[in-house]
Amino acid sequence: MAKRTFLSEGEKKPITKSNLRKLLGVFRFILPYRWVFVLGLFSLGLSSGTLLSFPYFAGKLLDVAQGKTGFILTTITQIGLALLAILFLQSIFSFIRVYSFSVVSEKTLADLRHAVYEKMIWLPQSFFDSRRVGELISRITSDVSTLQDTFTFTLAELLRQVLVLLIGIPLIFILTPKLTIFMLLTFPLLVVAALFFGKFIRKLSKKTQDQLASANVIVEETLQSIAVVKSFTNEVFEVLRYRKSLTEVVSTAIHAAKYRGLFISFSIFTLFGGIVAVSWYGALLVQSNEVSVGELFSFVLYTTFIGGSIAGLGDIYSQLQRSIGASERLLEILGQQDEHSTPANDVRLKGAIDYNQVGFSYPTREDYEVLRDISFSIKPGEKIALVGPSGSGKSTIIHLLMRFYRVSSGSLYVDGKNVLDYTLSDYRKNIGIVPQEVLLFGGSIRENIAYGKPGATETEIMDAARKANALEFIDGFPEKFETLVGDRGVKLSGGQRQRIAIARAILKDPTILVLDEATSSLDAKSERLVQDALEKLMENRTTVVIAHRLSTIRKVDRILVIKEGRIAESGTHHELSSLNNGIYSNLLKLQLEISE
């Protein structure tokens, strides 16, 4: 199956019926706040309507000042007070509009972020195999921020600009038809030329941004792998690589700046040239008494509003394109099939495991079979070890047991029941894992241990730490259980992190325990402490151990040697080590030679 990838961040999508439906798909999150949203729309209409009456009254102010009558307000003071009243009403309506849209936007986007995060948490492991974490984080941050601009600003501005055009153009046609026709014959040509030029400038700007993003990738890679850079003394190489990338950015940016300067000069000349042309024609009409000075002034103000609306529609169009791209990426996540399940019962497994002719291929590599016809059984409380070279399928066997993936062929039973028949949450509550690389959360030691059983009492947490041989070093810290472990547990040593993970597993009290190379990277003292804690943890539990260091699995009940996705050997440590030229015995001899 082809690897699926997300749309690139910031990608603009064409505005079509199909794409608009995708954008409207995100609008369902507005429904709980629809009446506040309607209030905002109503206020927007009133705000735009009152504002559009301003140029008309301003023009009448000049006419009355010149002694012209026939208007309902006969004095300059009356018209001035009317203008102030218009501004006052417009400011009230604008406040209600801004506040209403902000309330709807913040609450809607909080719901959207929550929905996307909840969906991500419940998505299967196969989903994360083909996605980068940075991309997924960007969905909640950048894409939702793009939609925030749409909800709070773009949508309101679009409606306001449309109202200005729908009301403003008929008004100037009624007030000054000759000037309006002259303006419509002049300005559209200028606007089309400006839009064409502007599109060319945006392409150059996008190229600059793309090159800058490539330069930032160099910074990200080098800082994330700074130890590698320093160990190979490649500081100069990386600096030169970054300098070369920046040089390309500068070259493109300067090239774009040249055309941007021409565009700005062209815009200023054409814009003010158009204003001069309209003003010239308007002056001729005033001179011939076809329009009054007040009508000309009203026309200029209306034209300014209409011109601003037309100019703003270009940015709004671009923002809508980005919003469609963002909504499509978010809806792609929300449309995924997840693993969400409500715990049906507090199921307590006994720990009998049966692999029956199990075959498996990862969804991202369906053409390669990782496991082939695997069959073995584990009795409740039995301890087995999986041994074999890297890539033989040991971790995959565990992944299937954890239900990170479904078997491709064959079946997997626990307590005589197909694992797929258990409610997922109920099932996984019975399995505990101590991984090779322990990743702790950035909070306190207490929080990390309690993660195995949220809501655990102080006594339970301390008892779990004691059984994991972790109390020794925890009491040595000034803050004890409140000690912050740092990002991913970097403030603790490898052995300390392993014992925190063991304490977490003890607190969970699982029926089935998985130990994935839990002591492979520890020194002798830490390994002894961790091994002692693991032996306490394994008591009366079905245990599956993945190990490369064969000295750690001598006491297990049975060892399965996995080679190329099949079980090549099976037996106790004594039985397998006695085999002449056996895989296990050869691995054991090789490790003994290396350790000598």
* pLDDT tens sequence across 29-77: 888 888 988 888 888 888 877 877 777 777 777 777 766 665 666 677 8
Is 297 within 8 Å of 59 (Cβ atoms)? yes
Ranges of beta strands (E only) in 247-394 are 353-360, 371-378, 383-387
Has residue 4 got a pLDDT over 50?
A: no
CB atoms within 10 A of CB 496: 23
Report strand pairing: 417-418 vs 409-414.
Answer: antiparallel
The number of residues making up the chain comes to 596
Mean per-residue pLDDT for 454-470? 82
By three-state DSSP, how is residue 255 classified? helix
Check residue 484 and report its DSSP letter: B
The full DSSP string for 568-591 is EEEE-HHHHHTSTT-HHHHHHHHH
Residue 313, token pair as written in the block: 């529609």
The residue with greater pLDDT, 102 or 529, is 102
CA dist., res. 439 & res. 467, Å (int):
20
Please give the pLDDT value at position 182.
Answer: 78
**Whole-number Å distance between alpha carbons of 51 and 378:** 79
- pLDDT category at 2 given cuts 50, 70, 90 is very low
Question: What is the structure's pLDDT at 16?
Answer: 60
What stretches of 225-292 show up as alpha helix (H) in DSSP? 226-231, 235-287
Judged by DSSP in three states, 354 sits in strand
Provide the β-strand partners of residue 358.
374
Between 246 and 197, name the one with better pLDDT: 246
Going by the DSSP 8-state scheme, the letter that residue 29 receives in this structure is G
The whole-chain average pLDDT of the chain stands at 77
Q: Is residue 220 predicted with pLDDT exceeding 80?
A: no
Residues contacting residue 526 through CB under 8 Å, at least 6 positions apart: 493, 494, 495, 498
What pLDDT is attached to residue 194?
Answer: 65
pLDDT tier at 3, thresholds 50, 70, 90:
very low
pLDDT reading at 561 higher than 60: yes
Decide which of 383 and 517 is more confident: 383
Question: 383: which 2 tokens?
Answer: 């301890």
Rounded to an integer, what distance in angstroms lies between the CA atom of residue 291 and that of residue 176?
7
Cβ atoms of 193 and 273 within 8 Å: the answer is no
CA distance linking residue 39 with residue 100, whole number of Å: 7
- Report whether 326 contacts 334 (CB < 8 A): no
Q: Is the pLDDT score of 101 beyond 80?
A: yes
Report pLDDT for 69: 62
- Which residues lie closer than 8 Å to 354 by C-beta, 6 or more apart? 376, 377, 378, 412, 413, 414, 416
Q: Using an 8 Å Cβ cutoff, are 539 and 571 in contact?
A: no
Cα-trace Rg, the chain: 35
Mean pLDDT, residues 307-314 = 70
Residue 5 has what pLDDT? 42
The reported pLDDT for the residue numbered 314 is: 67
For residue 589, pLDDT beyond 80: no
Cut 0.75: pTM above it: no
Strand order in the sheet with 409-414: 371-378, 353-360, 409-414, 417-418
Residue 557's pLDDT band, with cuts at 50, 70 and 90, is confident
Write down the pLDDT at residue 184: 73
Asked if the model's pLDDT at residue 189 lies above 80, the reply is no
Rounded average pLDDT over 189-200: 66
Give the C-alpha separation, 275 to 294, whole Å. Answer: 17
Strands 409-414 and 383-387: unpaired
Residue 174: pLDDT band (50, 70, 90) is confident
Mean pLDDT of 411-428: 85
Pairing between β-strand 371-378 and β-strand 353-360 as defined by DSSP bridges: antiparallel
More confident residue, 30 or 271: 30
Q: In the Cβ-directed half-sphere of 241, how many Cα atoms lie within 13 Å?
A: 15
pLDDT value at residue 32:
86
Above 70 in pLDDT, residue 122?
yes
Range 503-524 average pLDDT: 75
The whole-angstrom separation of Cα 351 and Cα 401 is 11
In this prediction, residue 525 carries a pLDDT of 66
Mark 452-473 as b/e (b = at least 16 C-beta within 10 Å): bbeebeeebbbbbbbbbbbbeb
- Please name every residue paired with 387 in a beta bridge, in sequence order, or none if there are none: 561
Instruction: Assess whether pLDDT exceeds 60 at residue 110.
Output: yes
Which band of pLDDT confidence, cut at 50, 70 and 90, is reported for residue 527? Answer: low
